[in-house]
Structure 1
Amino acid sequence: MMKKYQFLLIASCVFISACSGIPYAPKGSTMYDGGYTDVKTGANTYTVTFEGNGYNKQEQVVGFVKQRADELCHPFKAETEVRPFLKEKTNYTALNGQLYITQHKFPSAEASVVCVE
């Protein structure tokens, strides 16, 4: 009986985690297709991008970009110009000889970051 409850608990956790937004993490470091990337563009400047999924809110994605900017500039202050956008993604699936095409738009954001004292 106890093993049945343990199985149900584990199955519930797996199901809930599969239906969650992309966490704050570098792109490619989790099982999710998204996350943040950053590119150093100058001595004190960066470009930061975060790609979410259908479970992320636009405000959350913007917050993740600002959080990464703060981490990159620490101990200095990060001045950011955040540009939220929807990233389009097309999936192709073949089932029983039929091709199914789905298009989705996911919340994403990009920021130009300047680190200032």
Structure 2
Amino acid sequence: MFWYKKPNVERNSISLGNGWRLIGTFSASDLRGCHYAVLQTWLPLTALEFTQQVLTSPLFSESNTTQQRELLTCQVDSPLSEVIGKALTKHVHRVWVVDQQRLLLGLVSLTDMIRVLRTSILADFQ
């Protein structure tokens, strides 16, 4: 994940990412299809430069489109059903939680979603 600091944010909130503006995501999916020889030449790049290079490189499949690089976000009061729907529709493993100014508040991961669903299902059986 990439973010930059919002001015006048307290130092202890920075370590959690709170108050930072989200500008990109880097995940294992970005390495899919990256040949070793190509990866070696790209090692000096920053993570953000790497993800941008992947989007424009002819070496990568049609599946690497700008649309897939869209940062999926939700608000802190978004229903979990909406968050899960976004993740499933866009085939991603995380949805970023942002405030009205799109500053980072947190993250809902696929693991978080499964954990809540599991707890709910198990509670129904008891």
**Alignment TM-score, normalising by the size of structure 2:** 0.23
Q: Hey, which of these two has a bigger chunk of helix by percent? A: 2
Which structure has the higher relative contact order (CA within 8 Å, separation 6+)?
1
Q: Hey, which of these two has a bigger chunk of strand by percent? A: 1
**Alignment TM-score, normalising by the size of structure 1:** 0.24
